[in-house]
Amino acid sequence: MNVESPPPPKRARGFFTDTSLCIGCKACEVACKQWNQLPADGFAMTGNSYDNTGTLGATTWRHVQFIEQAKANSSRQDQRWLMMSDVCKHCANAACLEACPTGALIRTEFDTVYVQQDICNGCGFCVPACPFGVIDRAPKHGQFEAGTAHKCTLCYDRLKDDMTPACAKSCPTASIQFGDVEELQERARHRLAELKARGETKAELYGMPEGKEATEVGPLHAFFLLLDRPHTYNLPDIPRLPRQTMAQRYGWSAAVGVGFALIGALVFRGRR
């Protein structure tokens, strides 16, 4: 499906995923694959708990993580499961969109990030650009063009018909909540305060405008309430845009190179 010239803008739509309510049922994974006609991942476990999908990718747009936590030498009562349904974050400053040389990646009238398949040339620049490892190129399978990039569309076709995305519609515990981003952010703040009052001292919101993780990628339009640190859920504590990462990694060597060049120029002038 192609996105035509942008219609009048609407209020941003997105997801608030409350991981404290996730029961790991995978209804969201199944609904996403069914609605978007994505190929099945099979039933073989990855060896990492009850996970059979492993990661997000070109044919897996929702991924339920199972994280078993236990203290050293602890009893069974000290163990717990953390579960989270991961998805594309539809970043306000989307690195994949910036990296795309053909204009295949666009921002829709719902402020979501969408891949136009007829424009994508499969260059793959968007894949390493994403700090969350979301977008990927697909192998040839059914409706997929070999090598083109795919990711969550936030059910763009359903949004145009004022329908809820399939994953949120199927969630039996309201762990995945869909709606106006600003309204969801306010709901998330209230929910965090409620959990803190119950003694969940490590609970935090990830992807909010006020969060340090929004420094470079901006607020996430698919954000989360976590019960532990982001890296516990395989999320970067502070996601970096590629240009920032490259500047930090190679900036010092560039400075050293400039310094040596200046020294060489001064020595050459002195000999003259």
For 91-149, how does the pLDDT look when each residue is reduced to its tens digit (9 = 90+)? Answer: 999 999 999 999 999 999 999 999 999 999 999 999 999 999 999 998 876 666 678 99
Is 5 inside any structural domain? no
Predicted local distance difference test score (pLDDT) of residue 186: 97
Measured CA to CA, the distance from residue 202 to residue 82 in angstroms comes to 13
Q: Rounded CA gap, 104 and 182, in Å? A: 27
Cβ neighbours for 254, distance < 8 A, ≥ 6 positions apart:
none
Q: How many helices (H) and strands (E) in the chain?
A: 8, 10
CA-atom Rg of the chain in angstroms: 22
Residues 6+ apart with CB under 8 A from 37: 142, 143
Same-domain check for residues 235 and 265 = no
Mean pLDDT of 18-40: 95
Same domain, 86 and 176: yes
Structure-block tokens of residue 187:
């709901």
8 Å CB contact between 189 and 197: no
The rounded percent of the chain whose pLDDT value lies above 70 is: 80
Nearest C-alpha neighbor of 53 from the set 23, 36, 76, 28: 28
Same domain membership, residue 117 and residue 104: yes
User: Is there a domain that residue 120 lies in?
Assistant: yes
Domain of residue 178, CATH code: 3.30.70.20
- Of all helices (H) and strands (E), which one includes residue 187? helix 181-197
Are 208 and 94 contained in the same domain?
yes
Average pLDDT over residues 253-258: 46
- Is the pLDDT at 7 greater than 60? The verdict is no
Q: What three-state secondary structure class fits 44? A: coil
Distance of CA 6 to the CA centre of its chain: 24
**122: phi > 0 → left, psi -120 to 50 → alpha, else beta; which?**
left
Domain tally, the chain: 2
pTM over 0.85: no
The confidence score (pLDDT) of residue 203 equals 96
Where in the sequence is the domain holding 230, given as residue range(s)? 13-240
- Does the residue 8 lie in any domain? no
pLDDT of residue 252: 41
* pLDDT of res. 246: 41
